Structure 1
């Protein structure tokens, strides 16, 4: 495995901890958490970009800023809200519909062929989600809003990812500016719609780890892996993330690995793997 591919694998490992760290920050409003975590990630990223002498990459057109900030802000605000409003394991797995939605959207947006194997993979993933929250499952009152947020963030990230193909000229270094802008937008929204909470030491630690890892270094590691590593291997390994993320939540006591969760995780990850390994 090349160093670049290893870097991309590091991004996947960091993203597997996203749900666990978000739950570690529980008690912070979703928009406030989004603002604080992206402020940390943005400051670190701008420092790295400045050290490399590439601050000029932050000068992008309005479409690039709308795309970058809209994707980062929309996805993470909805994701943190989902974990706050619904059981973490189930909400996290619903979020991982996004790889399958990318497959579906690639046809109308990018004009790519779907094919039977990809459609079968999508079907398996949706079957897993239906099993997870369908008939026979019981959840606390109000969890439905959290599940809606989880599906919403999957849709946002899928649209963002697919349309990124049309933003190929925007350098990865520009993400540093997008992160800071996301922090500012989330902060304004938090002041307008939420009651601010002073983080305790546990929550501050979670914010710092989120900003340094899943919402910081992971973006740059993933870019290196996708551009200079083996994207086929990384694309396949990515479907282990929902399983790893779920197991981390269960190990931390944030959920129970019953038969329903285990089968749903296998269907979501297996459906993604089946779609990812389809031949054109």
Structure 2
């Protein structure tokens, strides 16, 4: 006789609780990430990027250490409802290092090298990159539609870059634009692979943050940073503990608990909220760049809706 599907009350509760928890974690990540560009902009006006990054990685490392101490779970076990496959410690660390250190360092180099509102929009093309990867890796039901949607988003990026503040190409410098695009690539890589490994996120985010502390401390020494007490310390540690630390942990948990790709849609609220906050703070875009921003954000939302649907029919 075939084994009947387990439909006990506890199993039903777990099946229903996982998507709800995934959405809650995703909403928390988006709320924190939305403040990243605004707080980062205010710090970079008076402090070098190396110091801001050093404070960030300290804050993130402290958060991940506290989570790790509280959790103390064996590496081969997953919390109920989480998914993934076992991988080596080195592979898990690579996912964390590229996703955390690569994304954040390149993003803040971009923030320091070009208008923050433009860097933020370019850096948040990572959902479009995930969509492109989905076409290759997961054989979606409507790859052409997904590809066109992603392509429109990259057209928007071109408009943001070419239609900056004075309608001339590259208002920042080439390094800044390349850094923003590289940051998006790193975050796309992280979002694709973090949900596919069984290692709990604190296992690879903590050593990645620790590596970030060491690297950015060396960067500060190279820059000859002057160490002074001030309120900037609190803001820098917030960026580390909030958007970087809790933001990454919440997003990692959301991707592991997600069933059907529904939390992806929540991620695309980040460029909307962060761009709005930057606009309220006085950052401006030309009409051309605004049109590009609409394309980027609209494409992200469309990809978020189409991506999970396509994945469910793969």
CA gap of 1:231–1:111, structure 2 versus 1, over 3 A, is closer
Q: Find the counterpart in structure 2 of residue 2 from structure 1.
A: 20
Contact 1:98 1:154 in 2 (8 A): yes
Q: What CA distance in whole angstroms lies between the structure 2 residues aligned with 1:124 and 1:88?
A: 22
Unaligned runs of 5+ residues in structure 2 are 1-18, 77-87
Query: Larger Cα Rg: Structure 1 or Structure 2?
Result: 2
- Residue 183 of structure 1: how far off its partner (Å): 1.7
Q: Find the counterpart in structure 1 of residue 133 from structure 2.
A: 105
TM-score, length-normalised on structure 1?
Answer: 0.86
- Residue 37 of structure 1: how far off its partner (Å): 0.6
Q: Find the counterpart in structure 1 of residue 56 from structure 2.
A: 37
1:22 alignment partner, one of 33, 40, 63: 40
CA gap of 1:275–1:8, structure 2 versus 1, over 3 A, is closer
2:250 alignment partner, one of 209, 218, 221: 221
Q: Find the counterpart in structure 1 of residue 10 from structure 2.
A: none
Q: What CA distance in whole angstroms lies between the structure 2 residues aligned with 1:141 and 1:129?
A: 14
Structure 1 vs Structure 2 CA RMSD: 2.6
Q: What CA distance in whole angstroms lies between the structure 2 residues aligned with 1:234 and 1:36?
A: 30
Deviates more, 1:170-179 or 1:138-147: 138-147
CA gap of 1:210–1:228, structure 2 versus 1, over 3 A, is same
Relative to total residues, which structure has the larger helix share, 1 or 2? Answer: 1
1:48 alignment partner, one of 56, 67, 78: 67
Deviates more, 1:85-94 or 1:127-136: 127-136
Q: Secondary structure at the match of 1:196?
A: coil
Q: Find the counterpart in structure 1 of residue 212 from structure 2.
A: 182
Matched, 1:147 2:165: no
Matched, 1:212 2:241: yes
Q: Find the counterpart in structure 2 of residue 241 from structure 1.
A: 270
Q: Find the counterpart in structure 2 of residue 203 from structure 1.
A: 232
Contact 1:121 1:273 in 2 (8 A): no
- Residue 258 of structure 1: how far off its partner (Å): 4.1
Contact 2:150 2:303 in 1 (8 A): yes
Q: What CA distance in whole angstroms lies between the structure 2 residues aligned with 1:182 and 1:143?
A: 25
Q: Find the counterpart in structure 2 of residue 158 from structure 1.
A: 188
Contact 1:11 1:219 in 2 (8 A): yes
Matched, 1:71 2:108: no
Contact 2:162 2:169 in 1 (8 A): no
Aligned residues: 274
Q: What does 1:126-141 correspond to in 2, within 5 Å?
A: 126-134=154-162, 137-138=167-168
Question: Runs of 4+ in structure 1 displaced over 6 angstroms?
Answer: none
Q: Deviations over 1:125-145 (max 9, x none)?
A: 111111112267237865332
Contact 2:160 2:290 in 1 (8 A): no
Q: What CA distance in whole angstroms lies between the structure 2 residues aligned with 1:250 and 1:46?
A: 35
TM-score, length-normalised on structure 2?
Answer: 0.77
Q: What CA distance in whole angstroms lies between the structure 1 residues aligned with 2:187 and 2:121?
A: 14
Q: Find the counterpart in structure 1 of residue 29 from structure 2.
A: 11
